[in-house]
């Protein structure tokens, strides 16, 4: 607070905060950080060992399941019976990576068929299910 001034209210303290010193200090700190920031990235030179290793493959195993209007089931573009679906899901779920199920179905497919596929996936331990659709075409 400032106690002096050239106004008529000599007995009253000035109610405005002088921000000039605050701005000065912030600019000085900004300049100091700009100068010292490149110094933080200096690394100690270390001769690291060389090994031959494969890169980690982190892409999930994707099971492409399609169901047409005639209730024919396709797994990765091959026709399979519903009875083999649970076994194929269990084989895929046994891998170390969690498989994803990408499910495409004809718009005229019965809901019961979709429910059977989802139940087989759940029982086999496949928990990531995606429904593949075509984007809406606006006219």
Q: Report CA-CA distances (Å) from 131 to 43, 53, 101.
A: 48, 36, 8
Choose between 2 and 19: higher pLDDT. 19
How crowded is residue 121: how many other Cβ atoms within 10 Å of its Cβ? 24
**What pLDDT does 116 receive?**
92
Residue 3 has pLDDT above 80, yes or no: no
Query: Which string of DSSP letters, residue by residue, matches 33-51?
Result: HHHHGGGGG----------
Whole-number Å distance between alpha carbons of 7 and 110: 86
Q: What is the pLDDT of residues 30-56, one digit of tens each?
A: 999 998 887 777 667 777 778 787 776
pLDDT of residue 42: 67
- Name the phi and psi angles at 97, rounded to 5: -90, 140
More confident residue, 1 or 102: 102
Has residue 25 got a pLDDT over 90?
yes
Q: Is the Cβ–Cβ distance between 130 and 98 less than 8 Å?
A: no
Helix (H) / strand (E) containing 117: helix 111-124
Q: pLDDT category, 2, cuts 50, 70, 90? A: low
Q: How far is Cα 46 from Cα 40, in angstroms, rounded to an integer?
A: 17
Residue 65, pLDDT score: 92
What H or E segment, with its residue span, contains residue 116?
helix 111-124
Check residue 4 and report its DSSP letter.
Answer: -
Query: pLDDT, tens digit, for every residue of 55-107?
Result: 766 777 889 999 988 889 999 888 999 889 889 998 888 877 788 999 999 98
| Integer angstrom CA distances of residue 47 from 7, 39, 42, 51, 57 | 71, 21, 15, 13, 27
Q: Which domains does the chain have, with CATH numbers?
A: 62-131 (3.30.420.270)
């Amino acid at each position: 607070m400032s106690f002096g001034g050239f106004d008529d209210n000599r007995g009253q303290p000035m109610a405005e905060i002088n921000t000039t010193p605050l701005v000065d200090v912030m600019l000085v700190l900004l300049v100091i950080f700009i100068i010292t920031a490149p110094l933080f990235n200096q690394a100690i030179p270390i001769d690291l060992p060389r090994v031959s290793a494969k890169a980690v493959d982190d892409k999930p195993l994707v099971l492409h399941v399609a169901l047409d209007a005639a209730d024919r089931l396709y797994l990765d573009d091959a026709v399979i019976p519903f009875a083999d679906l649970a076994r194929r899901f269990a084989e895929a779920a046994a891998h170390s990576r969690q498989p994803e199920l990408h499910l495409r179905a004809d718009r005229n497919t019965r809901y019961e068929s979709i429910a059977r596929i989802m139940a087989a996936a759940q029982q086999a331990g496949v928990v990531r299910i995606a429904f593949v659709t075509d984007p809406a075409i606006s006219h």
